[in-house]
């Protein structure tokens, strides 16, 4: 049983957004009953009662919420470390200056390609790439630590090396690569946009190999097998050393943290294990977040590796990885079942996972040859 130490709370402050991203987990473009300012303050108070988890203000586009700065000030008064996840496209110099005064630990901006054509097509808005890059530059000019988030799919996987170089050029502290979970708008993506398990393995192997460069922290999200891949490629120690050097925002942990260290609060106040796993565990309008966090049967199951089924339940890396519970639910309809995008799960039989620790670097496809096949 994993400890139930809440480390990250993602709050969908609003579903409003001016972009139309193909992969977005949102299914609603507007709701009439989002948490109001008083309810938002109460949520922040409830989070503070659970310790000092990092509170991520997300959306939608959180910068479209009129009372955002009031809520940021309240979170700061409660001594909560805070981060902001944004498209970056609305950040002018004045807004960057206001954000700098809020004491944010990090602002994450999404770049889903290394060039305008790729990013703008995926985000559904011409000029989105240029605006996001300009926003990143303004944030850095005001001394704000930045992070680039990238959703990985076939349209941009060959651009990963270029995106890493762009992140370095923009002075970002971290590059977080998200493997698509087919929920919300992402469920409507052409199946050909999704990478195979072998291709995900190749990309994660390349990402792990960048860990020795301390200029940029790299991390895979919604890809819990990254911990296993890094260990197999003898890069886990590099990642952990970099994380210790950089602090809480760079923590390296076991794989899937949904329900065991992470939770998601929707715009309406509904509580979920993560933003991609639509298992409603309660509502902050009906019970305290602390009560939901401590008593939800869904959270309890997610904290117990013994509950896992199929390949993930039998795998030698079960405790370190656990598989993506959201992707298992979306693809197989079983949130405790096998991870669809893992090579070990794909070749699973009664003995394969028992032998899985014997896999070595050659088990992963070569990323350079993969890039050459997928380059645009």
Alpha helix (H) residue ranges in 210-283: 226-232, 236-246
- Note the pLDDT tens digit of each residue in 277-330: 999 999 999 999 999 999 999 999 999 999 999 999 999 999 889 999 999 999
DSSP summary character for residue 275: T
Supply the DSSP string of 317-370, one letter for each residue: TTTTT---HHHHHHHHS-TTS--TT-HHHHT--TTTTTTGGG--GGGSPPHHHH
Smallest CA-to-CA distance from 238 within 263, 258, 254, 218 is with 218
Residues 36-75: pLDDT tens digits?
999 999 999 999 999 999 999 999 999 999 999 999 999 9
Phi, psi at residue 161, to the nearest 5°?
A: -60, -40
CA–CA gap between residue 241 and residue 228 (Å, rounded): 17
User: To 5 degrees, how large is the angle CA 324–CA 124–CA 133?
Assistant: 85
- Residue 201's pLDDT band, with cuts at 50, 70 and 90, is very high
More confident residue, 173 or 363: 173
Q: Is the pLDDT of residue 128 over 60?
A: yes
The reported pLDDT for the residue numbered 240 is 78
pLDDT for the residue 52: 94
pLDDT band at 76 (very low <50, low <70, confident <90, very high): very high
Q: What is the mean pLDDT of residues 18-37?
A: 69
Please check whether residue 195 is in contact with residue 154, taking contact to mean a CB–CB distance below 8 angstroms. Answer: yes
B/e letters for 170-191, b = 16+ CB within 10 Å, e = fewer, are bebbbbbbbbbbbbbbbeebee
Give tens-digit pLDDT for 221-232: 999 999 899 888
373 — pLDDT class (breaks 50, 70, 90): low
Q: Select from 289, 288, 290, 268 the least CA-distant residue to 278.
A: 268
- What's the whole-model pTM score? 0.88
């Amino acid at each position: 049983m994993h400890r139930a130490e809440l480390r990250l709370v993602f709050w969908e402050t609003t579903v409003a957004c001016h972009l139309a991203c193909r992969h977005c987990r949102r299914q609603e473009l507007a709701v009439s009953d989002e948490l109001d300012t008083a309810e938002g303050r109460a949520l922040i108070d409830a989070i503070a009662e659970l310790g000092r988890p990092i509170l991520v203000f997300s959306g939608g586009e959180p910068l479209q919420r009129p009372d955002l700065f009031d809520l940021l000030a309240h979170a700061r008064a409660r001594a909560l470390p805070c981060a902001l996840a944004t498209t970056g496209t609305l950040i002018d110099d004045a807004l960057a200056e206001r954000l700098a005064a809020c004491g944010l630990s990090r602002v994450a901006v999404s770049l889903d390609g290394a060039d305008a054509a790729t990013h703008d097509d995926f985000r559904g808005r011409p000029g989105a790439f240029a605006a996001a890059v300009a926003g990143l530059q303004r944030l850095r000019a005001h001394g704000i630590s930045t992070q680039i988030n990238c959703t990985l799919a076939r349209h941009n996987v060959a651009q990963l090396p270029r995106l890493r170089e762009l992140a370095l050029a923009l002075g970002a502290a971290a590059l977080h690569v998200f493997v698509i979970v087919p929920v919300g708008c992402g469920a409507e993506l052409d199946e050909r946009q999704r990478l195979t398990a072998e291709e995900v393995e190749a990309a994660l192997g390349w990402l792990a190999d960048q860990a020795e460069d301390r200029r940029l922290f790299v991390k895979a999200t919604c890809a819990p097998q990254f911990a296993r891949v890094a260990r197999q490629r003898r890069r886990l120690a590099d990642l952990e050393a970099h994380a210790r050097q950089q602090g809480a925002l760079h923590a390296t942990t076991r794989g899937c943290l949904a329900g065991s260290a992470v939770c998601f609060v929707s715009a309406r106040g509904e509580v979920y294990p993560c933003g991609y796993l639509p298992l409603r565990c309660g509502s902050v309008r009906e019970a305290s977040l602390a009560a939901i966090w401590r008593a939800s049967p869904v959270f309890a199951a997610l904290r117990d590796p013994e509950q896992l089924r199929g390949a993930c339940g039998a795998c030698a890396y079960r405790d370190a990885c656990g598989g993506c519970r959201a992707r298992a639910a979306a693809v197989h309809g079983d949130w405790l079942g096998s991870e669809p995008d893992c090579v070990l799960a794909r070749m699973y039989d009664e003995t394969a996972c028992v032998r899985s620790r014997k896999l070595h670097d050659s088990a992963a496809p070569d990323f350079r040859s993969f890039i050459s096949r997928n380059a645009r």
